[in-house]
Amino acid sequence: MILLIDTTNEGIGKKIASELVNSSRGKSYEYIDASNMNISHCVGCNFCWLKTPGQCVIKDEYEPLLKKMSKADQVWLISDTKFGFVSYKAKNIVDRVMPIVTMNLHMVGNQMRHITRYDKNPNWGVIYSGDGDKDYLSWWCERVAINFGSKSLGVFSEKEYKEAISCM
Amino acid sequence: MHVIIINGSPRVEKYSNTEKIIDAFSEGLAEAGVSFERYAISNKNNWDEAREAYINNTEIIIALPLYVESAPGILLEFLETLPVKDKNTRVSFILQSGFAEASQLRCGEEFLKKLPEYLGVSYGGTLIKGDNFGIRVVKEEEVKKLTGPYKEMGKTFASGNGFFSEAVKKFAGPEYFSLPIRLMLQLMFKTIAKKRFAEAAREFGCNVPLDYRPWA
C-alpha cells in the first residue's frame, strides 16, 4: 500500500495519484487530502511512550492517519516549502509519528535509536512544491527513515513527480 | 547587551526541559551582567508578545528541542509569522535533544544555520547538546546537575561572540561514541535504562508494557 499524504493547498498530490493509476503498475494506493484536516502539533507530552504506549492522547483527526501510515509500505509526504523545508503542517504530521516507536533504546549502527513498536515500518518519501532546499530535505528524509526503522525513498520537486512515481 | 530568549518547545513550560536549560543559561547571563527577557511559544496566546520582542530587539536566542531531526512543527508555524528584518538583528540558537551523540543534532543544526538568511537576520551560531531526556524524569534536585553546564555557556555568550567559540564546539560532546562505549550502552539499554523507563511509566500511571501494540 502506497500512502500519499497531501498537505499542499493546491493539492498537487491529486495529479500524482491519477498518474499513478495511469501508469498501471497495479499497485494499491490511497490519496489523503490532509491540507484542511484538524491535526494539532505534537505537544511533547511523552504519553505515547510512557503513559498510553502506542497511542497519542490528542484526539483530533490524526490517529486514523497514523494507523494507515503504520500499516503502509510507503508514505509519501507532499508538502509546500517554507525556509527551504517542509511546511509546519507536514512537519506536525511527522512529529506525531512517535507512537510507532517505543521509549526503549538500542544501538543501530553507530547511533542510538528508539526501538520500533511494530515489525513493519513504512519507507518515507517527500514531494515538494515551491523553493525547497533539496539537499537539506534529502538529508532530513533519510534521517526520518532511520528513526522509524526504514529507508528513504528520496525527495522530489513537484516537477520531478514522474521520477517519484517510478520509485513507488 | 540585552537578550531576548524564546523557548521554541511545544511542551508547557512547567514540564519543558528547554525551559530548565534556559533557567541555567540565563543565570550565567545574569552573572556576566547581561539582561534578558524570556518568552515561550507553547501557548499560542503568547505569540504576539514574543513576536513584538523579536521585532523590537536585536539580540535573539531561540532555544528548541530537536523534533524528528529538525525544528518542532509549532516552532515552524511561529517562525512563519515573523517579519523579515535586517542584519543588525542577530539570531542564535540553543538546540537540545534526548539522543546523546552530537551527530544526532547536525541535521537540526543545518536547518538553523540556514534559517537566518530566510529571516533576513545575521546568524549567531548554535549551541548544541544532547542527552537531555533525563531532565524530565529525574527528581527536582537532580535537574540542576544536568542543566548546570549551560550556566557556563550563558557566560560565554555574554562575551559577545555568539556561539562560535571552541568552548561551544566542545560542549556538543562526542560526535559518535567509541565502540566500547556503544557496547556498554547497548547493555545498559537492555537492563538499567529499560527498568528506569518502566519505572517512569508507572509514575505516569501506565499499566501496560512499554512495547504494547494497540494496533497489533
Kindly state whether residue A40 falls inside one of the protein's structural domains.
no
Smallest Cα distance from B77 to chain A, Å: 5
- Looking up cell 499513478 gives A20
Task: Report CA-CA distances (Å) from B189 to A22, A50, B213.
Answer: 48, 16, 20
- Strand order, beta sheet including B122-129: B35-40, B2-7, B59-65, B90-96, B122-129
For chain A, the DSSP string reads -EEEEE--TT-THHHHHHHHHHTT----EEEEE-TTS--PPP----HHHHTSTT--S--SSHHHHHHHHHH-SEEEEEE-EETTEE-HHHHHHHHTTGGGEEEEEEEETTEEEEEESSS---EEEEEE-SS--HHHHHHHHHHHHHHTTS-EEEEEEGGGHHHHHHT-
Kindly state whether residue A41 falls inside one of the protein's structural domains.
no
Question: What value of ipTM does the predicted structure carry?
Answer: 0.96
Pairing state between β A85-86 and A81-82: antiparallel
A 129-148 residues inside an 8 A Cβ radius of B = 133, 136, 139-140, 143-144, 147
Compute the distance between CA of residue A147 and CA of residue A143 in angstroms, rounded to an integer: 6
Compute the distance between CA of residue B146 and CA of residue B139 in angstroms, rounded to an integer: 11
In the three-class reduction of DSSP (H, G, I as helix; E, B as strand; rest coil), residue B86 is classed as coil
Domain range for A18 is 2-35+48-166
Compute the average pLDDT of residues A77-87. 98
Nearest to B68, CA basis, from B116, B111, B126, B7: B111
Q: Do B72 and A41 touch (CB under 8 A)?
A: yes
Compute the average pLDDT of residues B167-186. 96
| A116 φ/ψ angles, rounded to the nearest 5 degrees | -70, 150
Domain range B2-176, CATH class: alpha beta
Of A85, A95, A107, the CB nearest to B72: A95
Kindly state whether residue A115 falls inside one of the protein's structural domains.
yes
Q: What is the pLDDT of residue B88?
A: 98
Q: For residue A24, what pLDDT band results from cuts at 50, 70 and 90?
A: low
Q: Do B70 and A133 touch (CB under 8 A)?
A: no
Q: For residue B138, what pLDDT band results from cuts at 50, 70 and 90?
A: confident
Range of weakest confidence among B85-94, B142-151, B161-170: B142-151
Q: Do B197 and A67 touch (CB under 8 A)?
A: no
Smallest Cα distance from A143 to chain B, Å: 7
Kindly state whether residue A75 falls inside one of the protein's structural domains.
yes
- The CATH number of the domain holding residue A123 is 3.40.50.360
Kindly state whether residue A99 falls inside one of the protein's structural domains.
yes
State how many domains chain A has: 1
Q: Do A112 and B215 touch (CB under 8 A)?
A: no
Which residues, 6 or more positions from A59, have their beta carbon under 8 angstroms from its beta carbon?
Answer: none
Per the CB < 8 A criterion, the answer to whether B10 and A41 are in contact is yes
> pTM higher than 0.90 for the full model?
yes
A 8-27 residues inside an 8 A Cβ radius of B = none
Compute the distance between CA of residue B107 and CA of residue B68 in angstroms, rounded to an integer: 10
Spans of all domains in chain B: 2-176, 177-216
pLDDT (tens digit, 9 = 90+) per residue, B39-75? 999 999 999 999 999 999 999 999 999 999 999 999 9
Compute the distance between CA of residue A43 and CA of residue A51 in angstroms, rounded to an integer: 14
Compute the distance between CA of residue A71 and CA of residue A117 in angstroms, rounded to an integer: 12
Nearest CA in chain B to A48: B210
Pairing state between β B90-96 and B122-129: parallel
pLDDT, averaged across chain B: 96
